[in-house]
Amino acid sequence: MFERLNDVTIFKYYTSRTGLEQDNGEGDLAKSRGPATIPSTYETEVMSLMKTLLRQLTTVAALCLACTALALAADAPDGAAIFKSKCSMCHGQDGKGYAAVKTPDFTDPKWQASITDQKIADTIKNGKQGTMMMPFGTQLKDAEIAALVKQIRSFGKK
Ligand code: HEC
């Protein structure tokens, strides 16, 4: 009537309580018993806890993204502002240039097509020898020069 307590009965009791079991070496024990069953209240508790955590994580991640975007926006050089302060006296605020200074018309599609971004950046950095186009490599960072290239391209899109 009473089964003697031995390792096997303790193991059976343990696995029936936890739903966990070890492979008996033939690999079919787990299959025959099906997946471990976890009490449903426990399951819903864990799930709601995980959902709360996830929601909080998502909020934190969204905040981080917003901060990074702001920081980047603050750091990104303002090509239009730099052009206005350092270039517009010779190239005009509208980028059309001045015949008297012999500056090209940046709004001319033909001029836009005649030059690569790399060449524009090089010209800003090193200037054009023998012309009034002076080098800006010492006063402008690469990121600022890149912003100016974009600004000059934007004149062609109007
Ligand atoms: C002192 C006047 C002056 C200033 C300031 C100046 N430029 Fe120029 N820039 C010129 C002249 C003149 C030319 C035409 C050179 C030539 O004969 O090809 C020129 C040409 C250029 C070209 C065309 C180069 C090519 O190969 O067609 C670019 C691009 C340019 N400038 C960008 C800038 C930018 C950006 C700034 C401001 C950071 C600036 N320039 C400031 C006078 C100036």
Question: What's the mean pLDDT in 117-136?
Answer: 97
Query: What pTM did the predictor assign?
Result: 0.65
Q: Does 51 lie in the same domain as 28?
A: yes
Q: Does 89 lie in the same domain as 43?
A: no
Question: Is the residue at 132 inside a domain?
Answer: yes
Question: Is the residue at 92 inside a domain?
Answer: yes
Ligand 1 midpoint to CA 142 (Å): 17
Q: Does 86 lie in the same domain as 58?
A: no
CA distance linking residue 94 with residue 77, whole number of Å: 19
Q: What is the overall mean pLDDT for the chain?
A: 84
In this structure, are residues 18 and 36 in contact, taking their beta carbons and an 8 Å threshold?
yes
- pLDDT for 2 beyond 70: no
CA distance linking residue 141 with residue 147, whole number of Å: 10
Q: Does 136 lie in the same domain as 107?
A: yes
User: Domain residues for 16?
Assistant: 7-75
Q: Which residue, of 45, 75, 105, is where some domain finishes?
A: 75
Question: Is the residue at 2 inside a domain?
Answer: no
CATH number at residue 101: 1.10.760.10
Sequence-distant (6+) residues with CB within 8 A of 140 are 82, 86, 124, 125, 148
How many structural domains is the chain composed of? 2
Residues with CB under 6 A from ligand 1: 86-87, 89-91, 101-104, 115, 120, 123-124, 128, 131-133, 136, 148, 152
Question: What's the mean pLDDT in 104-122?
Answer: 97
